[in-house]
Amino acid sequence: MADNFKPFVSPEVKMKEFTVKSILLGCMFGIIFGAATVYLALKAGLTVSASIPIAVIAITLGRRFFKTTILENNIIQTTGSAGESIAAGVVFTLPGFLFLSDKNGDQYFNYITILILAIFGGILGTLMMIPLRRSLIVKEHDTLPYPEGTACGDVLIAGEKGGDFAKTAFYGLGFAVVYALFQKVFHVISETPAYMTKQVNKFFPSAKISADITPEYLGVGYIIGPRIAGVLVAGGVLSWLVLIPLLASLLPGDLIATQLVKLGYLADLATPGGKGNWNPTTHTFTDYSAAIYFAYVRQIGAGAVAAGGFITLIKTIPTIISSFKGSLGSLKKGEGAATSNAEVPRTERDLNVKLVLFGSIALIILMAFLPQLPGQSIGQKLLVGLLVVIFGAFFVTVSSRIVGLIGSSNNPISGMTIATLMGTCLVFIAVGWSGKLYEPMALVVGGMICIAAANAGGTSQDLKSGYIVGATPMYQQLSLFIGAIVSSIVIGLTVKFLDKPTAVMIANGVTDHAIGSTYFPAPQGTLMATLAKGILSKNLDWQFVLVGVFLSIVMELCGIKSLSFAVGAYLPLSTTLPIAIGGAIRGLVEMKNKKKNIKVSAEEEELGKGNLFATGLVAGGAVAGVIIAILAGFNSTANALNAMNMENALSGSLGEEGYYILGVVGFIFMGWVLYRIATRNKEA
């Protein structure tokens, strides 16, 4: 209980809070970090929390240019953080529409459907948190720390230090933008240096080492630290330097090509091209590693990710049960949202709990009658809507409590989504619905729950921040609804722009969708489609999936968190290797601190210069990547970008290896800058 808790701004104080400028600034940050999250999640299958960076930047901009109060700054970060959580939920599931049987889900991967599902899922996550706020945030203030929310509240309270905090983040952002210009516009820095042994190599055929040497990957690696980054790259090493060379030495080209035809990556054995660039005349691939990866290793990785997510969920079952019982018990005792705001202090005013009931009913009705959502009849759509609300009520409660204990970064969203998808498919089979027709409907349920659970976790952290600083909960809840709607508009546009192949992608054989290619692998979305097809259509290669399942089990038996390893095994090594380098730099910084006997608390590390500079690298690199990808989607700007491309000139003068080395030197320089900034903070 927190009966003696006093917020920073007392309930009696009247202060500007829910203002036009705070909402507009929050929406702007929601758009920026939402777009950046889409880009990062599609490429790496990872996200980083946006609340603290938004709070830090909001304090600086607000104090300097807009004269905002601490409560307005809280509304800014609350509104902005909705974009990051909703973007993660969208990207982790909805690209699955592209990978369903016979492409029958492709029709639903359009802007309007993505927009509807993003808004509905985001609203559902916030809606279900209204009756839970008092029981989880207030009554259990001492037992549920909500680490990101508490840190964010501390940042807001330490607002007078905001300028120094934000300066380092802005340096990182500026550095990343300049680096991205040299890499993605002028192409002075190569994007993916690679080295691969030849297929005819007797001892180690088709082993490939590559790295997308981007600012955002380096920043992500530093933020998540050496342990998780190391486990991620270990999965990549297993796939690209163990499984692929092994299969390359055992399998003939024709057999690999036959598997690619089965999976739809190659038209037929007589047609050249496809993954790995098949040559029907010589019966060989130009790139055996890519061919084997798409033919076999991705399915093994999908099985590992599914098992890792499910294992993570199983390990949290005691917490899930106690969370659900505790929350329901609190509601029964009348500890939910107050029904009359006139009876309670400003800091305890929630939106009316009746909104949850009527909002849920409205959601079901809208899902039943909107033609943009999959379903052959109103009855089918009503069942889908009902499943969304039922699963939503359960997993929003679970997500909200789990993030209070272990933080949003460790929230087993993938496991919850997998459980939802499998439960939905089993319900469909129970009522006689099986086959390709129902795959998009199952994905809608899984997608909306993923978005709702992700947003509920973020909402809980925001409400914790508000509780600490003395915000008005109803204003936070309203700003979360606004942030969900506004950011969803841009998230859908970003997804569609990134899905459009650029001229470079088309030249490399990506002609239909960029999402699902090596440029934007979308690992979780592919996994969701694989599960839906496997359960409803019974056409899954279970022999490969089960290898992945037991791979995750082996990792758990070794005491390693299997989900991180599984994601690494699924993703290209080019993604996980630069992340591991960022983690290694964090490890070197920590070693130096230990040698000098410098002790840093978790809260201080969160706000340290290394973390803030890395956050700037992530935001700057991802936003620059989104903007350049959008510009490349228009013919006029694409031609201008091509005119500035120096890759051919540099490759011609330096050779391909020399060009790659030049890129690696640029990446090393960026890593050195990150290390110097991180250690300078500790020495000071």
pLDDT at 297: 93
User: Distance between the two ends of the chain, CA-based, in angstroms?
Assistant: 39
| Whole-angstrom distance, CA of residue 510 vs CA of residue 192 | 17
pLDDT at 684: 43
Give the position of tokens 């808790």: 5
DSSP state of 670: H
Residue range 518-545: average pLDDT? Answer: 79
Angle at 149 between CA 327 and CA 124, to 5 degrees: 50
Residue 310, in any domain of the structure: no
Lowest-confidence segment of 325-339, 424-438, 584-598 by average pLDDT: 325-339
What is the band of 326 on the pLDDT scale with cuts at 50, 70, 90?
Answer: low
Angle at 665 between CA 664 and CA 670, to 5 degrees: 95
Query: CB of 437 within 8 A of CB of 376?
Result: yes
Is 546's pLDDT higher than 70? yes
pLDDT at 242: 96
Please tell me which residue, 622 or 73, carries the higher pLDDT value.
Answer: 73
Please tell me which residue, 354 or 148, carries the higher pLDDT value.
Answer: 354
Residue range 489-510: average pLDDT? Answer: 87
Phi then psi for residue 312, to 5 deg, are -60, -40
What is the band of 598 on the pLDDT scale with cuts at 50, 70, 90?
Answer: confident
Lowest-confidence segment of 21-35, 306-320, 341-355, 663-677 by average pLDDT: 306-320
| Whole-angstrom distance, CA of residue 592 vs CA of residue 613 | 18
For the chain, count helices (H), then strands (E): 27, 4
Copy the structure tokens of residue 116: 């509807």
Residue 185, in any domain of the structure: no
Is 661's pLDDT higher than 90? yes
| Whole-angstrom distance, CA of residue 368 vs CA of residue 432 | 20
Please tell me which residue, 207 or 151, carries the higher pLDDT value.
Answer: 207
Sign of CA dihedral 339, 341, 342, 347: positive
Give the position of tokens 């974009």: 83
Closest CA relative to residue 525, chosen from 495, 552, 546 = 495
Looking at this protein, which amino acid is placed at residue 12?
E
Residue 609, in any domain of the structure: no
pLDDT at 606: 61
| Whole-angstrom distance, CA of residue 187 vs CA of residue 182 | 6
Query: Which distant-in-sequence residues (6+ apart) come within 8 Å of 444 by Cβ?
Result: 117, 373, 374, 384, 388
| Whole-angstrom distance, CA of residue 105 vs CA of residue 117 | 14
Closest CA relative to residue 456, chosen from 51, 148, 125 = 125
| Whole-angstrom distance, CA of residue 292 vs CA of residue 207 | 11
Residue 199, in any domain of the structure: no
| Structural domain harbouring 362 | 20-165+354-507
DSSP assignments along 171-191, one per residue: HHHHHHHHHHIIIIIS--S-S
Query: CB of 56 within 8 A of CB of 165?
Result: yes
Copy the structure tokens of residue 311: 């294992």
* 472-493 pLDDT per residue, tens: 999 999 999 999 999 999 999 9
Count of domains observed in the chain: 1
* 36-61 pLDDT per residue, tens: 888 888 877 767 667 777 877 777 77
Share of the chain above pLDDT 70, in %: 89
| Whole-angstrom distance, CA of residue 448 vs CA of residue 370 | 15
pLDDT at 303: 83
| Whole-angstrom distance, CA of residue 130 vs CA of residue 459 | 10
Is 341's pLDDT higher than 80? no
Residue 599, in any domain of the structure: no
Neighbours of 269 (CB within 10 A): 14
Tell me the chain's radius of gyration from C-alpha atoms: 25
Residue 452, in any domain of the structure: yes
Q: Average pLDDT over the chain, rounded to whole?
A: 84
Range ranked top by mean pLDDT from 9-23, 126-140, 258-272: 9-23
Give the position of tokens 């510009």: 631
Query: CB of 616 within 8 A of CB of 171?
Result: yes
Is 539's pLDDT higher than 70? no
| Whole-angstrom distance, CA of residue 82 vs CA of residue 459 | 8
Chain centroid, CA 325 distance in Å: 29
Please tell me which residue, 539 or 76, carries the higher pLDDT value.
Answer: 76
pLDDT at 566: 86
| Whole-angstrom distance, CA of residue 24 vs CA of residue 20 | 6
Is 161's pLDDT higher than 80? no
pLDDT at 553: 95
Closest CA relative to residue 356, chosen from 445, 456, 457, 487 = 456
Looking at this protein, which amino acid is placed at residue 242?
V
* 385-444 pLDDT per residue, tens: 999 998 888 888 777 877 776 566 656 677 778 778 888 888 888 888 887 888 899 999
Give the position of tokens 């040559």: 279
Query: Which distant-in-sequence residues (6+ apart) come within 8 Å of 122 by Cβ?
Result: 82, 85, 86, 89, 451, 452, 455, 484, 485, 487, 488
Could you give the residue ranges of the DSSP H alpha helices within 16-146?
20-44, 51-61, 70-93, 111-127, 133
Query: CB of 285 within 8 A of CB of 247?
Result: no
| Whole-angstrom distance, CA of residue 176 vs CA of residue 182 | 10
pLDDT at 479: 95
DSSP assignments along 529-588, one per residue: HHHHHHHHT----HHHHHHHHHHHHHHHHTT--HHHHHHHHHS-HHHHHHHHHHHHHHHH
Residue 379, in any domain of the structure: yes
Lowest-confidence segment of 38-52, 94-108, 234-248 by average pLDDT: 38-52
Residue 573, in any domain of the structure: no
pLDDT at 423: 83
Sign of CA dihedral 269, 270, 274, 276: positive
Please give the model's pTM, rounded to 2 decimal places.
0.76
pLDDT at 597: 81
| Whole-angstrom distance, CA of residue 600 vs CA of residue 592 | 12
Lowest-confidence segment of 46-55, 93-102, 234-243, 610-619 by average pLDDT: 46-55
Neighbours of 436 (CB within 10 A): 17
